[in-house]
Each structure stands twice: as C-alpha cells, then as structure tokens.
Amino acid sequence: MAAGAQRRGTTVTSEAAPKDSLKPDICVVGGGSAGLSVAALAAALGASVVLAGTRRPEGASLHDRSLASGALAAAARRAEEFRRGGAFGLVSSGELQVDLARVRAHVREAVRSAAPLDSMERFRAMGVRVVAAEARFADRSTVMAGEAAVRARRFVVAADSRPAVPAVPGLEDVPYLTGETLLDLETLPERLVVLGGAVAGVELAQACRRLGARVTLVETGPRLLAGEDPEMAAVLERALRAEGIVVRTGVEVLRAERRQGDRVALVLRGGEGEETVEGSRLLIAAGRAPDLDGLALDKAGIEAGPAGIRVDAGLKTTNGRVYAIGEGIAWGGEGSLHATNHQAGLVVRNALFRLPARLGAAPVPRLVLTDPELAAAGATEEEARERHRDIRILRWPFAENDRARAERGTAGHLKAVVTRHGRILGCTIVGPRAGELLAPWLLAMEKDLKVTDLANVVHPHPTLSEIARSAAVEFLKPSAQNPWIRRLVGFVGRLG
C-alpha cells in the first residue's frame, strides 16, 4: 500500500469552507506532505476523506525541500564535472561562471513541475473533500476547519515543520539563512559558515562549495552524520575536506557575533581552545522542529513535546481515534519523504483495516545527496554488534569495479552487516549513485533473502550494480577454505 501512497508536494489551492458537519472515514489535519499520501491512498481504497488545513507556501513542504535539494545537488554536480573535464581530455578555454539566478530558476522549476499532482482539482477528482481553512481540534472527536465541524471515524495529524534554530548566544542579533531562504540570495556568499553537520548541512555545504563559495562546516557533535556508520561517514567527510570545505566537529558554539557590514562570526571552543570562524553569511542547518501551532492538540488529549507528537509504533497518539504522521511526530529517523510515504501506508492499514502494521517492520532507507552519495538501511555495524553475538562484515570498494574505474568515480565502498548464517542486518554504501545501488539490499532485507541469494544474481558488465554481487561473494570465500569442501572437490576430481 505504501507504494501507492506516494503523493508529491503540498500545494493545494483554496476553496470556501463548507458550513456543515462532515462525518468521513478519515480526516487528515494539517499541511504536511505525508497527509496528502494518506488522503490519496484512503480515497483510492474507497474511504470517504476530508483534507482539512492550509498548505505551506511553495518550497516549504517536505517534498518541495527534497526535490529542491536534488535539483541544487544536480547543478553543483554539473559544475564539478566541468572542473574535472580535463581528466577525460575535455579542456575548456575559460573558467566556470555560476549564475545563481539561473540555478535558482532551475531549482524552482523542478519544484513547480510536481505541483499539479497535488492541485485541489486532482484531489476532488479522487473524491477527497478539501477544506482549505485553519484546522484545530475542538474536542477528542471533532476538528473545526473554518466553519465546518468534522467528526471523522479516524483523524490523521500531518503537521509540517520549520527550521530549528539552536540556542546560541547572540544569534538573535545575527542575520542568518536557512535551507529555505538560501536561494533567495542574488549572489552566492563569498564565505559561508554552515552550522549543522546532519544531512541538510552536509548537502548544502558541498553544493555551495561547488558553486563557488568558500565553506566552513561546524558540527557540535563528535562527527558529521551522527546517525550513520562512523566508518562510512568518515569516507564522506574526507571527500568534503578534499574539495576544500573546512570541517569543525566536536566544538561548542559559545556565541554568534555580527561583524562589520553583514559579516558574521561564530566563536567556538574545542580541544585546542577558542577559535573564531568568520563568513559573509551564516547558514543554519540544525534540523527541523515540528510546527504544531494552532492545532489545539491539548483539547483532543494528544500529548506532544518539543520533539513532536507522541506516537506508538503504530503511529497512534494518546487519543485512540487520532494518528500522527510525518515531520510532526516524535519518532527518530523518520523525517524523509520516503519514510513519511511509508508511514502513510501503515496509517491507512491501521485506521481503515485495523491491521497490526508497525514502524520498524520494514527497512526504511536513508540518503545523503552528496557526491559521493551515502545511502543506508538497517543496522550499522555498532548497532548489529549490540544485538547479535556473531556477525560478519562484507566490504567491496568502488575502486575494484570496472564501471567506476571507467568513470573515475572510485571513491567509497559498500559495507554490509550480516549474520554468520547470511541474514542481512544492514547495508551502507558511500559512492556514486549509492541510492540506486541500495535497492537490491532493501529488497533482500524486506523479503528476508540471504546474502547468498544476492551472490547468485548475474549483473550486466560493466555496471556499478556488480558491486552488490562482488560484496555478496565475499561471504562465500571462507567456505572455499573448508577442508570438507576441499576433500569433496578432490574426490569428484578423482572420478574423472
């Protein structure tokens, strides 16, 4: 069901709020992208659906941000390919010129191209009743949307999010950018300081560096991409440093200061004492915070905190009639579009069919749109060692793949964590097109295939997909040293 739930964007235009009482099977409350997935899937299954709430402005929804990140990364990748053309014998007579206005137009066109898929007319055609008015809970079983009272069999809160702003002394007096406002600039900053070393911070730091800015990336934690395998995150960090990005990790941000003109500075304290990093602009990429304002969750008995709405593994809130989904929930690691689309399928199964669908039953991938990309699913090595006594680590470098050699994209490797019996616990890939290369490992984990099944798949040559088989074959190599296998080979050989 989750596959059918993938709706894009959140641009639903307005219509007058009805002055009546509505009693649908499901009422989706809020402007989050995930709610549109729920509405579309439930309507496709024949349920009556009300979509209540206002939509976020263009560029602010989860889908818009995901699409914008991909478009910006694509522009930055083209710039880097231009610079590296000499390695392929392609020599340009001039320097690369970056027109930020045209980059911005490219990104916005990518976002706008998906907007018609979520127009109000399309949802009307699906049979969804759209009430484009501020929605709030009146009690445990009623939502008011404008002048309409909605008393649904089940409610789904699909709150959106806003950029999280860290508590840094002096930051309130310093002009700063977020991922949503970066491309509002007319020109790219000469020196950019990025605060935040999670996915958004890493992606934006590399994109801005490749488009011509000098970048310093600051992370208060001990390393970048804290939720990923340290070995693999380190591969990506080395790639960022090699491109000229200055990385500062494991530091405390003492204060932010406004310098002459619009220049900004962060005063840091690390293992070597205090240091100051200065730039022409500051970009805050410290994650997202749930936007629950105006929903009156307390009137419905729904508990929420700074991290979001409290839900169980079935995405049910503390009100048994209400589910929550998307960026507004307090459930770690679920902030990507593919994760929220997965949640949509679970919610519809739970709400309409009372099926025991729960988070964690299927591997949800993670992706960092850098170059090289980082893609992962399942357990890291550290997590696997905590849960299993005996595991094996399988690795295969891109440098040993012919397609990667031909394209000069040999940085990175694949790392899979398996049990001694070959069950796949997790996989992380750092390298070109890692997101696509993760697919067979996701399928294997979902269908409980063994790593030996991947070893038996024949791939076309030369392709990057051969890396999956090469890594899987590593699992079989110890068997070749088994004395019983050697005796069997010798016995069969003597038979002629």
Provide the 10 A C-beta neighbour count for residue 80. 17
Distance between CA atoms of residues 374 and 356, nearest Å: 32
Contact between 377 and 364 under an 8 Å Cβ cutoff? The reply is yes
Helices vs. strands in the chain: H and E counts, helices first: 15, 25
> What pairing do the DSSP bridges indicate for beta strands 373-378 and 154-157?
unpaired
Residue ranges of the annotated binding site for NAD(+) are: 196-203, 219, 287
List the beta strands (DSSP E) in 259-412. 264-270, 273-279, 281-284, 288-291, 304-305, 308-309, 322-324, 366-368, 373-378, 391-397
- Catalytic site includes residue 413: no
Give 462's contacts (C-beta < 8 A, 6+ positions apart): 401, 402, 403, 406
> Would you state the structure tokens that stand for residue 421, as one six-digit string?
């019996």
| Stretch (H or E) spanning 138 | strand 135-139
Give 483's contacts (C-beta < 8 A, 6+ positions apart): none
| Stretch (H or E) spanning 150 | strand 148-150
Contact between 210 and 80 under an 8 Å Cβ cutoff? The reply is yes
What are the φ and ψ backbone dihedral angles of 211, each rounded to 5 degrees?
A: -90, 0
Contact between 392 and 416 under an 8 Å Cβ cutoff? The reply is no
Buried b (16+ CB within 10 A) or exposed e, 465-495: bbbbbbbbbbbeeeeeeeeeeeeeeeeeeee
Distance between CA atoms of residues 237 and 239, nearest Å: 5
Q: Residue with structure tokens 């939509």?
A: 55
Query: Could you list the active site residues?
Result: 461
